[in-house]
Amino acid sequence: MKNIKLKNTFLILLVSGASIWAYYLFLKSSYFVIFDAWVQENTLAFVIYLFSYKVISILWPPLTGGLATLAAIPFLGWLGAYLVDFVGSITGGIIAYFLGRKYSYKILRFLFDEGVIEKIKKIKVKKGKEIEAVFVYRLFFGSTILEVIYYGAGLLKIGFKNFLIGAAVSHMVVGIPSYYFAKNIIEGKNIILIIVSLALGIPFFIKFKKRHFE
């Protein structure tokens, strides 16, 4: 089991790094124009593929669904790519939520390291703060722990409705600026403004994290 967890961690790093490098080379190659033309003629098929891949990547964290949808920005625009990511993420999150509720720590131990599971066990969501807890935790940790929250929400005694609202709202707050910023980065625009905006957001997350967790 330990070897499986180490392999999953290695796969995440390897796939992420390889994906970013391959994407950079792709943008600079002649194949970009060819693929862009194909997407314009087969937009629905492309969207279905991205959606399916995003859902699977939520259920099996070694896959990097976020990178795939970010890479779709040049073809679908930042808003189109974000909407695919949003729907895929929430769909995958719903499936993960019920899998986590049914199989408890068995599925968490298969997918995540013991250190991550211990962090989940120590979390105590304050009564009446379930929606805000999912929201703030998603903001503070971002995609690094997104799948853990999806799988672990049932174990944290967060009701499905509260989980869904918190997951959806937090995804919009994080995702919309992220995809807009990614668009600017790909186009080489407003890089300094993006860095400053991200830096200013850190104190906000630190200040409000403790309010929602014991």
> If we measure between CA atoms, which residue out of 90, 89, 82 comes closest to residue 54?
89
- The pLDDT value given to residue 4: 46
Mean per-residue pLDDT of the chain: 75
Task: Name the DSSP letter for residue 104.
Answer: T
Q: What is the pTM of this model?
A: 0.73
Q: Which position has the token pair 């089991």?
A: 1
List all residues 6 or more positions away from 71 whose beta carbon is below 8 Å from its beta carbon.
19, 23
Q: How many CA atoms lie within 13 A of 86 on its CB side?
A: 19
**If pLDDT is split at 50, 70 and 90, which confidence band does 61 have?**
confident
- The pLDDT value given to residue 182: 79
**If pLDDT is split at 50, 70 and 90, which confidence band does 28 have?**
confident
Residue 212: pLDDT over 50? no
Residue 112: pLDDT over 80? no
CB 149 within 8 A of CB 134: yes
Q: How many separate domains does the chain show?
A: 1
Residue 118: pLDDT over 80? no
Give how far Cα 65 sits from Cα of 85, 118, 135, 189, Å.
Answer: 8, 25, 20, 25
Q: Which position has the token pair 């693929």?
A: 35
Q: Which domain holds residue 126?
A: 2-212
- The pLDDT value given to residue 159: 82
153-135-17-72 Cα dihedral, nearest 10 degrees: 110
Span of 54-58, 125-129, 165-169 with lowest mean pLDDT: 125-129
Q: Which position has the token pair 């719903």?
A: 94
